[in-house]
Amino acid sequence: MILRTLLGVLAIVLLVTGAYFGLVVSPPDAFQGDYVRIMYAHVPNAWVAYLSIATVFVTSVLYLWKRRAIYDHVAHSAAELGVLFTGLALATGMIWGKPVWGTWWTWDARLVTTAILFLIYIGYLLVRALSEDSERGAKVAAIVGIIGSLDVPVIHYSVLWFRTLHQPASIVRGDIKMAPPMLMALMTSLLAFTVLFIYLLTLRVHLQQLHTARTESLAHEV
């Protein structure tokens, strides 16, 4: 409980620092100008989005193996956070892309995979919402989570090879030459969002445990 509060405080401190580095300290890019600052608000979301799906995978496997409820709770919570951060990654990506490259959307592998990841998360949460809250529902969700998360790299490479082995990508997202202040801003933001993810995860898992306890106590009363 105290630990969680500390995590939250740490997250806020890091987030503010990261924003300061990104908005004030770091220099504009040679090509993009000040638009590069959006990167510090975009990339960490994508990072957490993929961190979440990895969490879903690991905890789903653990749940099938050990059958301990905590793994089920973490998987569920990570999926919910996954929707959140994937959505933010897509939104900030579009906000970044429109002024810099002129389009809201390109069909490169990373974007398409992230969009599909978003929909995989939603499918997972739908399964959760529609199955009776029982061990069977948790088992189904775990299998859906495992296959869904393993699917992500498969989709990425399928999409990548489908296009690029035919024609080269028409819009090339050039790599940004990262000066040290930019790297610092990015790293700080990445760390900040990671801490935020852990904080939100513990909070969400706590909620899930409270939920389960309340359901059980109600059942006992009956």
CB 113 within 8 A of CB 86: no
Q: Using CB under 8 A, pick the residue from 61, 107, 108, 151 that binds another protein.
A: 151
Long-range CB contacts (within 8 A, 24+) of 207-211: 207/77, 208/73, 208/76, 208/77, 209/70, 209/73
Structure tokens at 169: 């990508």
Q: Which stretch binds another protein (CB under 8 A): 49-57, 101-109, 113-121, 173-181?
A: 113-121
By three-state DSSP, how is residue 222 classified?
A: coil
Q: Which stretch binds another protein (CB under 8 A): 51-59, 168-176, 179-187, 196-204?
A: 196-204
CA distance linking residue 95 with residue 105, whole number of Å: 10
CA distances 131 to 16, 139, 198, 219, Å, are 40, 10, 27, 18
Is there binding between residue 204 and another protein (CB under 8 A)?
Answer: yes
Q: Which stretch binds another protein (CB under 8 A): 101-109, 138-146, 170-178, 179-187?
A: 138-146
Q: Which stretch binds another protein (CB under 8 A): 50-58, 102-110, 149-157, 180-188?
A: 149-157
- Cα 213 → chain centroid: 28
Which residue in this structure is represented by tokens 């106590």? 217
In whole angstroms, the minimum distance from the beta carbon of 190 to another protein comes to: 14
Is there binding between residue 2 and another protein (CB under 8 A)?
Answer: no
Nearer to another protein, 137 or 184 (CB): 137
In whole angstroms, the minimum distance from the beta carbon of 173 to another protein comes to: 17
CA atoms lying within 13 Å on the CB side of residue 26: 31
CA distance linking residue 37 with residue 56, whole number of Å: 30
Q: Which residues bind another protein (CB under 8 A)?
A: 1, 19, 23, 33-35, 37-38, 41-42, 45, 64, 66-70, 72, 84, 87-88, 91-92, 95-96, 98-99, 116, 119-120, 122-123, 126-127, 130-132, 134-140, 143-144, 147-148, 151, 154-155, 158-159, 161-162, 165-166, 196, 200, 203-204, 206-207, 209-214, 217
